Copies of this chain bind each other. A is one copy, B any other.
Amino acid sequence: MKKYLPIFRKAALFQGINDMDLESMLQCLSAKRSAYQKGQVLVQKGMTMSSVGLVLSGALHLLNDDFWGNRTILAQIVPGELFGETYACVQTAPLQVTVQAAEATEVLYLDIRKIMTLCTASCTFHARLLQNLIFVLAQKNLLLTQKLEHTSKRTTRDKLLSYLSAESIKAGCATFSIPFNRQELADYLGVDRSAMSSALCKLRDEGILEFQKNQFALTHSVQP
């Protein structure tokens, strides 16, 4: 593991931790190494992660393939960087992305539970505060990722369907209300209000959804 010291030294996760501490820490965290070939999929969209991945060599791509096969690169992960930390911190959330090796890549996996649990319970609620902050940041990550998933759709229609079906799923009900008026929704989706209004009414005319004010109902199951 020593040959990766240059990577560890520049890794954000290990800043301020010296080489000696590092080695014992890696054992303590039960770090495990894996290697992948170019194009190989490390984790599939929809799965969950219980550990954080640290790229040792090569590069990864975070991909978002939609239903029709449009592929969006959300990010590129290079040596020293992490992936999956958001989903490891919010284990109830299934991966919204697929992780693929952009080239031959080595990865070090660290168990998130061992990272989060402070050895000595010195100041209980202060430690809890840090854990909560981590959770908040990870969840905000998810919100941003979700918004990106909506706004990355090519047409206003698809942006609407992506957003509304996500809201529907979140509400656990075909009928739901949204926290935006039309102008705010248009701003959120990054589109023109009047064009969005047209698209909305067209969807209603096609019988795909119903609405009045900010109460919506998806009447057909639609692939976002």
Are A130 and B128 CB-contacts (below 8 A) given A12-B139, A118-B123?
Answer: no
Within the complex, which residue of B13, B136, B187, B190 is in contact with A12, where a contact is CB–CB below 8 Å?
B136
Is A134's CB under 8 angstroms from B125's CB?
A: no
Taking a contact as CB atoms under 8 Å apart, the answer to whether B188 and A72 are in contact is yes
B122 touches A190 (CB 8 A): no
Tell me how far the C-beta of A52 lies from the nearest C-beta in chain B, rounded to whole angstroms: 8
Q: Are A122 and B129 in contact (CB under 8 A)?
A: no
Number of A interface residues in the complex (CB < 8 A): 58
Interface segment out of the listed A142-150, A164-172, A207-215:
A142-150
User: Separation in Å of the A25 CB from the closest CB of chain B?
Assistant: 6
Q: Which of A87-137 contact B (CB under 8 A)?
A: 89, 115-116, 118-123, 125-137
Listed by A's residue number, 25 A-B pairs whose Cβ atoms lie within 8 Å are A12-B135, A12-B136, A12-B139, A13-B132, A15-B135, A16-B125, A16-B128, A17-B125, A72-B188, A73-B187, A75-B147, A82-B136, A85-B136, A115-B129, A115-B133, A118-B130, A119-B123, A119-B126, A130-B130, A134-B134, A137-B137, A137-B141, A141-B144, A151-B151, A154-B190
